[in-house]
Structure 1
């Protein structure tokens, strides 16, 4: 039987120093990579200033009550085409069912999880009480359709709906 003549290598101060430095270098390197991923993939905040948003909250409540009192009927139809373009059609009527004309509408497609993908849609009047708009480069998936209607420089209508575009 052969006996091994190898002796155990002693743990020296240099070995402890090198392994400790290597350990912390790996930990710091992994942390730096994770911080980089976190910063580059963070879409941002919902509002830039929570304080400013809280001050505007009461105005939003008053505007929502006024919108409910107007009792407008706004029907929105949105389609995504195979080329990635999205077309929107708005049919706008007042409380008596008469078409509303002369309004300025703006529509936005907002990604629920990434503000960087939001798309604005220019909407123009296409007929009596009918408004149309189109935007290119819309990806399939879930979107929030935000519709704002202004008259005489004052917001008269606001709607936010979750839509699924295929």
Structure 2
């Protein structure tokens, strides 16, 4: 009789343990899929040159801001720097990258040619960026508080 009374408790305990194991497995699967997606997304940044095609803010037409050359850069994974140009002068800056967040540090030394308003707008905007995403066309959006501030397209290396 004593064994019959303990049997439902044992079944309940086993059922609870199985539910816990299933929960942990599902949680692990969901977490690992998210991590892989972020890794794939981060990998899109590298091995490419990104050229600016849109910048938020100025009332001057984009072509007027960058009449000769558009800003472009590459992400250097080894040094955690972006290296390229800001439309006129050379540009390099450290960056910090996490899942969907990105930030750019102070730019390093560069050439000192006089450039129009575009270069200053670009450099100022880079300091405000705190997130990134890729759109359906594979373009890189640099964002400030979930608002796209700059958009870049991949160009041939």
- Relative to the length of structure 1, the TM-score reads 0.37
Find the structure with the greater CA-based Rg. Answer: 1
Work out which structure has the larger RCO, using CA pairs closer than 8 Å and 6 or more positions apart in sequence. Answer: 2
Bigger proportion of residues as strand? 1
- Relative to the length of structure 2, the TM-score reads 0.39
